[in-house]
Structures are given as C-alpha cells and as structure tokens.
C-alpha cells in the first residue's frame, strides 16, 4: 500500500467514525445532567481545575479552545448538578484510539460516582463509534485515579519521565483495548 493511499484510508476512517453524544440525566443519589461542553463552559472547567489542582490550571482557555476547534474528533463532556458544573472529561480521537486528555471533578463531588460515570460515557461512546482503544496519562502519585482506571480495565504500558511540567513528575501511560471485552 502506498503512503498516499494509507493517508487517505486514515482520513476516511476519521470521517466515517461518528462521535455522537446526546445529553442524559443520571441518578447518583441525586440527579445529574451529562452533556457536551460548549465554549461558554470553558470558564467552569478552568474553575474546577484551579480547585482540584490547588491553584494550578494545566489547561487554560487557549488549550481548551484549541482542542474544541482542532482538526481531530473530540468528545468533551461535563456533569451538572442543579445547573452547576461539577466535573468534566476530555477525549481526543485519532483513527483507532480515544485519548483521554483530562478529567476533573470538583472536590465536593468526588467519591460520588461522577468520574466513574464520565469514564463510562466516554468508553461506551468510543466503543459504539468503533474505536479500538482508550489511552491516558496519570501522575504516578495519583493512586486513587490509577485504581479507578484499573477498575475500568486500563493497564500500564510505560512510564513517561518528567511528563508534568509543573513539578517534573512522571506519568503512568495507561491503555484499554476494546477487543478484550468482546
């Protein structure tokens, strides 16, 4: 196969895999709404980052806008409780993989199933669209997140040295393949 036809095959795959997400309500002891992120929501995502990352903002407005306007397919979901944004997840898709770029839940709502619900939504949406895998990076010190990802079937592939610029912490590269559940 020539490089040219391989390129066009990849482009064809990107345009044939549809990322469709319809808003839904879920009951996690109280009613939550899950929906796609809009541009006007970015300030809420940044506020959650500041809270969760103790004043740091790993993804600023420019980064979120770049993701939402970029050439790759993305799925950014948020969770609302009483019209307050309490968590979000971002996923960027290439021809085979959905890469979870970020996930954060307001401290008040942690431990209540919000992150689990967001991961379930991304996993199910990617599976239905025909993607082969999901991937993500997580701080080596974030054991709670690692436990959650392992519960979902993610396995560690490698360690990315000095991945996080704020403190040069290593990241654990984790991977999930859908064929393992078929």
Question: Which has the closest alpha carbon to 58: 45, 76, 71?
Answer: 45
Q: Is 98 helix (H, G, I), strand (E, B) or coil?
A: strand
Residue from 67, 76, 80, 149 carrying the catalytic annotation: 149
Question: Which has the closest alpha carbon to 51: 112, 100, 105?
Answer: 105
Residue from 121, 137, 176, 179 carrying the catalytic annotation: 137
* Active site annotation includes 180: no
* Active site annotation includes 149: yes
- As a whole number of Å, the end-to-end CA separation of the chain is 29
Rounded to whole angstroms, what are the CA distances from 134 to 53, 75, 86, 99, 158? 24, 13, 23, 6, 15
Active site residues: 137, 149
């Amino acid at each position: 196969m020539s490089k040219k036809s391989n390129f066009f095959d990849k482009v064809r795959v990107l345009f044939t895999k549809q990322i469709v997400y319809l808003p839904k309500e879920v009951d996690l002891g109280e009613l939550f709404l899950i929906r796609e992120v809009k541009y006007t929501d970015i300030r809420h995502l940044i506020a959650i980052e500041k809270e969760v990352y103790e004043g740091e903002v790993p993804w600023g407005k420019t980064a979120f806008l770049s993701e939402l306007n970029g050439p790759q397919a993305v799925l950014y979901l948020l969770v609302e409780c009483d019209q307050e944004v309490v968590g979000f997840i971002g996923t960027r898709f290439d021809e085979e993989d959905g890469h979870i770029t970020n996930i954060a839940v307001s401290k008040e709502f942690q431990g209540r199933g919000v992150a689990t619900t967001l991961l379930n939504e991304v996993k199910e949406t990617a599976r239905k669209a025909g993607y082969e895998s999901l991937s993500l990076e997580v701080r080596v010190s974030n054991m709670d997140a690692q436990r959650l990802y392992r519960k979902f079937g993610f396995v560690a592939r490698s360690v990315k040295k000095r991945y996080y610029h704020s403190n040069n912490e290593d990241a654990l590269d984790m991977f999930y393949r859908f064929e393992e559940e078929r």
